[in-house]
Structure formats: C-alpha cells, structure tokens
Structure 1
Amino acid sequence: MTDLVETARARFTELYGRAPQGIWSAPGRVNLIGEHTDYNDGFVFLFAIDRRTVAALALRDDRTVRLTSSFTDEIVETTLADLGPGGAHGWQNYPLGVAWALSQSGLGQLGADLDAVPGFDLYLDSDVPVGAGLSSSAAIESAVAVALNDVWRLDLDRNALVKAGHIAENEVVGAPTGILDQSASLLGRLDCGIFIDCRSLERDVIPLGFDEAGLEVLVMDTKVEHEHAAGGYAARRASCEAGARELGVESLREVSISDLPRAREVLDGETFRRVRHVVTENQRVLDTVRTLREQGPRAIGDLMDASHRSLRDDFEVSVPQLDLAVEISQNYGAIGARMTGGGFGGSAIALVPRELISHVEAAVDGAFAEHGYAQPDLFAVVPSDGARRDE
C-alpha cells in the first residue's frame, strides 16, 4: 500500500501540476460463498482483500472533471454537467458514474446547489487484478465514493455510498449487478467476513479465524477475462426473474428448498436449474455462517465444494480453467475450493492449510501447463479493512 500511495501522489503531481488534496483507497473482494444470490434478494458472505485501488484527488475551481490512471496515458476531460448514463464510454464510466450518482442523490438530498459543486482532478492506481473476479470495478467506485464524500462534504454513511456505487454500475456502466461488490469494498473488516441480507441490507460481521486455524485463502486467477455487461450475466439474471414470476414470488429469496419439487414441475429445465442454484446457495451461505460460529473454518470446505458444483452444473457460469483450478487444489490438500465472482472466467479460491500452499500452487501451475492453458496468477489474500482515507 505504501508504494501505491506514494506512486499515486507523485503521478498526480506530475500530471496535474499540483499536489492532491488527499489519497483514498478501497479493496477488491473475495466472495467466500453466495454467488448470484445478491440480485435475487438473497444472502452473501464475503470479505475485503489486501489488494486495493488508490484514488488521488483534488477539487478544482470550475466544473471540469479530469481523470486518468496507471493503465492509460490518456487524460479524460469532461464536466459535471455532462455526467450520467451515455455520457462516457470505457473504464472512466466507473469513477464518473459514482460522481454522477453522488451528485444526484447525495447533493440533492442535502439540498445543495448542484451548479455550485466544484469539479475535480483524479488519478487512479491499483493492484487489484482486472478481470479476475475480484471486483476491481467496485474498488474503483468505492475509492472514488469515499474521496468525493469527503471533499464534497456530503457526510453520507457507508450504506449510501454502497448505493451510489450500485447505481453507477447499473445505470452508467450498464452491468446489471447487485450490491455485493460495493458492500465488501466499503464495509470490510480485518480478519472478518461480512454476512449480508441483500433484501433488508442488514449485515453482520463474522470473525473468520483463518489465521488462528492455520489456513490461507489462495486466489487462482485463471487469466480468462470476463465482462459482466456481456450477455451471459444478464441472461442468468433474466432467467432468475422469469423463474420468480412463474413461481408467483417477488424474488427467489422467497423460495425455499422445500419448494423445489413444485418448482421442477412448473419451470422448464434450464430455468429450474438456475432457480435451484440460487435457492440452495442461499442455504449454503446460512450454513457456512452457522458452521463457522459452531465448528470453525476447517469445517466449511464441503459447503465451498458444493457451491462450485452448483455454479458449474446448475447456473453454468464456470469455465474449464476454473474447474481445473478447483479440482487440482482439492486433490492436493485444499479444505474446500470454488469459483468466485460472476463467472465466465476470473478466479477460483481455495481454503488451504498454510503448510500446503506451495504444494497446491505447484500442482495448479503444472496442471494448467499440461492442459495448454495460460499460466495462472496464484496469490494468497488476507481479509482486510474496507475503503478509507490514507492521507
């Protein structure tokens, strides 16, 4: 983090000819369990990771917005008046979408004069892998959200900032995601997971106990990039909504495991499988939280394994590289493993005894080479704090 902050400060000063007002950061996330349940008003259980996006920012004395990042040589320039859906294209939609969402909700709620709000200069840097299913996009949104919340003096709570990031992702980026990613990035706690009820937005911080149990979370980035705004994710969400309509409920949250026999009779085969995944995944989240509390982290492996099978077979969002990473890590000592994130690429995670990490890494590397796949990026992550001001 020290290197990221120092680099962001230096690059901001070099590019804009002045020092930033401050530097803020927000983490990526790993979803321990509970995939594609968030937009179905279900349950999720996730944690923020020790990979972060850094935002160096300073207000201007006009309405101009300028932004760039370590990933491009281009400085994008626009105005606050031009923000909103359809106003920009590409990576800049994430930070600009948040600025628009905050200007609409936060400033409007405060009764502020929107025309008097100053623009800003922004520089972004990150060590959250892009396209790995670790929510690099929400890390950008959340870092910008806490920065603008401070400099615009909005005094919004973290739930309001989660909503701003969600609005940006849905209405400006055009990705029909739920609140999971922004919640992890903004609400994360050191050495803890966050259990979230996506219907009520109630949350509970659950100690994970990984370190005490001698366990590490190994991220296996397959290097197969995905895109949430593409058709696969949207099709799964539409299928869930269709299933809820056919079953006469507002969301799949209202469907229990005991309802599945009736659902099988009412729904076509594909829609039923989508519904079955969401319903059983909700139960797996509840079972994971209970098991952690009652038995500790070494007892949750079977639930992780079952989650991956359901995502692979019922929801059909896995890919061969994810399946291979999960299978090999299981065979070489992982307590449990599953894909994480929206799927169609990205990363898998494995809960591994500390002494077996290098053993599992070598096995996964070898298996990918044997299959002719690109070399995966393998690294351990630590449950960490959420978005914050760093200086």
Structure 2
Amino acid sequence: MSGTGDAAGGGGGLAGGGEGGPGHGPSQEDASFSALLEDSAEDLYDNAPCGYLSTLLDGQIAKVNATLLNWIGYRREDLVGRRRFADLLTVGGKLYHETHFAPLLQMQGEVNGIALEMKAADGTRLPVLVTSTVKTGGDGKPLLIRSMIFDARDRRAYEEELLRARRESDSERKRLQQLAATLQATLLPPALADVPGLEIAAHYHIASADKVGGDFYDLFPLGDGSWGLFLGDVCGKGAAAAAITSLARYTLRAAAVYNPEPAAVLANLNTVLSHEYIGIDPRFCTVIFGVLTPDEHGGFQITLASGGHPPAVLVRADGTADYLPTPGGQLVGVLPDPHIATTTVRLRAGDTLLLYTDGLTEAHADQSGGRYGDEALLDLARSLAPASATAVIRALSDLLDSLGTGVDDDTALLAVTVPRPTREEQQ
C-alpha cells in the first residue's frame, strides 16, 4: 500500500504523472487510485444504510451486502447460490411476491417501494420496502435483478401507533356517543301520557350523535282534569345545555302544578333561569307551553304561551292549515321581565296541533344552503291536511331523514289530535 500513500502524498502524483521518471510513472499511480476507488465502492456497497441484493432472473441470490445480512442474521455463504429472494420472505410476503411483485417486475422492468415482510434466520419478521430493477445487457436482454431493501420497522411502528390511536379514538367516540344517547334519553319523557279523547305523537331527531342537544318536550296531567304540554329549545349543546334542559323541564312541570296559567308558568321558568345563571354563564331557551282542557262537545280548548318560540301549526279537519301566531314573545332566561305572548284556540274533531323546534325550519334544504323555512313547513302541513298526529309526525320524520346532513340542529316534534268520532260513537 506504499504506492497508495505516495499517490495521496503528492510530489508529482496524479496531476504531474506524465512527466515522472521510471518507478513514479502514471501507470503505478493510476493503478493505486483505481484500487482505492474499488475498495471505497465495495465498502460503500457492503455497509450502505440499506440492503443490496442481486439475483439471477430465476430469483437465485448472486450477491448480497453486509447490511442486509446483519438485518436478517444470515452468513453470505448461506444465501449466495443457495437461496432465492422469495425464500427470505414470510408466507404472506412470498404469496404477494409471486402474485404481484414478480409479474409487475416482469412487465415494467422495475417496481418501487413495495412493502414486504422478510423472515430472519431466528424466525423474527422484518418489514421492508423493496425497489427492484431488471438489468439488461448490450443486446437488451435481461441479465439479473438488482434490489434495494429499506428497513421499514420504524415506519411499521409509526403505522401501528396511528392505527392504535385511531382505534382508541373510535372507541372513545363510541363511548361518548353512548353517554350522549343515555343523557339525551333522560331529558325526554320515557313515554307520553295517554290522554282520553286525544291522539298524541312525538319524535326527536338527533342531528349529531356526538353532542347532547337542548330540545325537550313533555305532556302531563294537571290536577283539575286538564293537561299541560310544552316543547322548547335551549341555547347551545353538550353537558351545559343538558343541565339547562333538565332544569327547564322539571321547573315547567313544578310551576304548572303551582299555577297552571301558561304565561305564569313561563314567567316562573324565566325567574329560575335568570337566578341560576346570571353573571356566570347565562343560558336561555325558547319554549312554548300549553294547557289542554276538554270541553262538553268532545273537543279541547288549548291556551298557548310562547317565549320566543316558533308558532304552532294548526292542521284543521276541513283540509286547511295555518300558524297560530304568538307575536312579541321574548326569550326565556334573558330579561328580568320578558313579554310572554299567548293565544287560545279550540281543537275540534279531526284537528291536529303541531309543536316543533327550529331545527326543522332552519335545516339546509338543498346544496346551495337554502333553508327549509316556515313557508315550506306550512305548505307541507296544508298538503297533509286533514291528518292525524301520527301521520303528521311520520311525514316530518321522513322529511328530516331525507334532508340528511342538512339538519345540523336537533329537532323535537310534538302533535296532538282530537280524533274524529267512530260510526258507533256517532250513532
């Protein structure tokens, strides 16, 4: 190696080789430099950060570098001329190699970054990414296959961590959805009361399984033979809205027992909400409260009080339908003394009263973002009239389902009908 030292040390060296004397001519220095380059290239090949593998066209291993040998725990003499590349793969990797990798390589002449699993000498698995190229001779005929093999253990660990995190996230999301559904169920009556002389139907449409909505409704007996009913919508979603919903629902029932006059019931709710949340986290709701009282003609009189809530719809037995206006009613829980709007109407045989929250009328009805709207609801009610409570709720439930993701807020529906008398009753 003294010649190599001389070449590296200069003194006429490579640059002046053409003028050197005997024994120091360019042929000796060129040979030394070539040997140095060859050693460097072989060392780079053998200890590259990736595995190198050359095989004959039938897959028999012809050359392999030390990096790959260290990864899989084999000696060079164990593989060269003795094994095929596919022999180093797991069962699944070998199957993929035979059905996909090899045919693709044959058709295209190269494949890039294919994920496979190699089986080490001790039986452990090594995830790898393989890039292979078919090398051809001067006549264009294929001679051998050269492959670069990259250790994919870090990538596999990262992918598994992502998958684990996703599974945990999905599991946590399902758990939260179950909790939300359970909490939502506690905010609604388990079953509506059976009111003599009335047909009753209700529906709750959940816009998102991830969040508890703030819509609520109920129907319950009062002490004098009349019945109270209400439907409302609390501002916001989630646990905070659920707390207000629960408070509102039970306050309305308690206030109605104390004084069933509808405007007084909402005034009492306003006092409770204002006192409970003023100065920390103000909450409010829209709500409509009514008292149903049977009359001597087989119908019912209902007085409704509204605190900023959308007007009820009256679907009449004569085939017409209209809103029952309660103008000027203000939100409950915002002002110390809000205006509560009231209206009274008689429900005759075949009439249906519909209460709803604005998740219905505020739903996106088309891709342009247009709202379903009050007029569309009234048109639908008129097309249904006359219709029972069950038929109205079924039609609106189907409508909400058809709007899909356009319904971005929960919707509560409550309808009551004075049924038409049967033939036996008429006789």
TM-score range, shorter chain: under 0.3
**TM score, norm. by length of structure 2:** 0.24
Question: Of the two, which has the highest radius of gyration?
Answer: 2
**TM score, norm. by length of structure 1:** 0.25
Q: Which of structures 1 and 2 has the larger relative contact order (alpha carbons within 8 angstroms, sep 6+)? A: 1
Q: Which has the higher helix share?
A: 1
